[in-house]
Chain A
Amino acid sequence: MTAITALLAGLLFGIGLMVSGMANPAKVLGFLDLAGRWDPSLAFVMLGAIAIGSLAFFIAKRRKRSFLGLPVLLPASATVTPRLVLGSAAFGIGWGLAGFCPGPALVAFGAGYPKAWGFVAAMVAGMVVFEMAERVKSRWLQA
């Protein structure tokens, strides 16, 4: 059951990205190009997503268990750290270079675009480098 609701959520997420125009890097770059001919559409995506999201998290925050009885796991960290800011900056540069963030890249991957496959492969490589760096760091701290 938990896999079914997760599958449904993933499907809905993908459909939302496609309908909104977010799955199209050219449109994303049109939004990021403030100094050119600016396409403000993606602000409306955020508006719609946050409207429903706020309602959902308002409910979720008041529950210890989900409707399926699973623990509700919300991030506890509240401190703004250099890694949060530097990581976000690196992400934003990549986002601006290609017009892809992780979700839309996976949608374009599924749509069968070789450049999206290349992007996803490079993205996974970046994540693997992060994992390896974290492991080296924790071993170093233990020693």
Chain B
Amino acid sequence: MLIDLSHFTPGLSLAGGLVIGAAAAVLVLFNGRIAGISGILGGLLSLPRNDMAWRIAFLAGLVGAPILASAFGNPTTPDIQAGWGEILIAGFLVGLGTRYASGCTSGHGVCGISRGAMRSLVATATFMAAGFATVFVQRHLIGG
């Protein structure tokens, strides 16, 4: 195994992770809800109207974060390598899959594992394995 030391950012990634954990802590301790992005967004499409305000507020914070950072001189510059076709197929699979799985990286990967849920451990192992496999096929079998 070859470690990419030029892109390895253990300190910043750990710090960012602590902040993500703090966000999940605020939501569960004050609002009593799981910080699962796919569930919060998907719930807007299904649940009764009285459950909308906190979801919209949370998502506004998430979408507003890069705008705020940019206002403070730290623009977010995601490097999106996928083409449009891949983007649309991937987005659809992520939306459909996370709803059937009742969670994504945040709801299962962070919150679920933090509360020791077996379902979340299985979900996280599965989507990580599928992610590893997809990149392997794309970069080393097809693209290689």
* Nearest opposing residue in chain A for B20, CB measure: A16
Contact A49 B24, beta carbon cutoff 8 Å: yes
The dominant DSSP class at the A interface is: helix
Select B93's contact among A29, A53, A97, beta carbons within 8 Å.
Answer: A97
Contacts of B86 in A (CB 8 A): 97-98
Interface band, chain A: 35 or more
Interface size class of B (residues with CB under 8 A): 35 or more
| Least CB separation from A43: chain B residue | B13
Set of chain A residues within 8 Å of B60, measured between Cβ atoms: 7, 10
Contact indicator A116/B80 (Cβ below 8 Å): yes
CA distance A87 to B68 in the complex (A): 34
- Contact check, B23 vs A16: say whether CB atoms are below 8 A apart: yes
Q: Is A141 an interface residue (CB 8 A)?
A: no
B52-65: CB near A (< 8 Å → 1, else 0) gives 01111111111111
A30 CB to nearest B CB, Å: 6
Does the CB pair A39–B7 fall under 8 Å?
Answer: yes
Our pick among B57, B70, B129 for the contact of A4 (Cβ within 8 Å) is B57
> Provided the pairs A14-B65, A41-B10, A107-B66 are in contact, do residues A102 and B104 lie with their beta carbons within 8 angstroms?
yes
In this complex, which of A23, A39, A90 has the most chain B Cβ atoms within 10 angstroms of its Cβ? A90
- Cβ of B42: which chain A residues have Cβ within 8 Å of it? 127, 130-131
Q: Say which residue of B22, B30, B140 sits within 8 Å of A5 (CB atoms).
A: B30
Residues of B within 8 A of A21 (CB): 9, 12-13, 16
List of A residues within 8 angstroms of B110 by Cβ: 46, 49-50, 53
CB distance from B53 to the nearest CB of A (A): 5
Enumerate chain B residues within 8 angstroms of A85, measured Cβ to Cβ: 101, 122-123, 126
Task: Check B27–A9 contact: CB distance below 8 A.
Answer: yes
**Within 8 Å CB of A8, what residues of B?**
26, 61
Please determine whether B31 and A68 come into contact, CB atoms closer than 8 angstroms: yes
A143 to B57, CA, bound (A): 38
Chain B: residues with CB nearer than 8 A to chain A?
A: 1-4, 7-10, 12-35, 37-38, 41-42, 45-46, 53-70, 74-82, 84, 86-102, 104-106, 108-119, 122-124, 126-136, 138-140
Question: With contacts A68-B30, A123-B95 known, what are 14 further pairs, Cβ within 8 A?
Answer: A7-B57, A15-B69, A16-B18, A18-B16, A21-B13, A25-B82, A33-B139, A34-B1, A52-B22, A73-B33, A98-B80, A109-B63, A122-B95, A125-B95
